[in-house]
Amino acid sequence: MLTTIVHSPIAHGALTGLIGAAAADVHAFRTWQTWHDAATYKWSTALFRWAQGAVLGALAAAGMGGLGA
């Protein structure tokens, strides 16, 4: 079952979207100097952005799959 999920274009699209959205936060992570910076980071916004990336990536992959690509 895990193999089926991993090789699914929709799962691949979701993972790609998640990674792409998370990459937007890498710059912010690199500027942190203390643990306080991590504590005051707007994690709810970041998690929402990551979820959006995963959903949009999955939808894009599903659409591409429907086109026969």
Please indicate, yes or no, if residue 50 is contained in any of the structural domains.
yes
Low-confidence stretches of the chain (pLDDT < 70) are: 1-2, 4-6, 65-69
Within a domain: 69: yes
pTM of the full structure: 0.76
Q: Is residue 36 part of a domain?
A: no
Give the C-alpha separation, 29 to 24, whole Å.
10
Percent of the chain with pLDDT over 90: 54
Rounded Cα–Cα distance for residues 17 and 52 (Å): 8
Q: Which domain holds residue 50?
A: 9-16+43-69
- Do the domain assignments include residue 52? yes
- Residue 24 resides in a domain: no
Number of domains in the chain: 1
Helices (H), 1-69: 2-6, 9-30, 35-40, 43-66
Task: Say how far apart CA 46 and CA 24 lie, in whole Å.
Answer: 9
User: Does 56 reside within a domain?
Assistant: yes
Confirm if 54 and 18 have CB atoms less than 8 A apart: yes
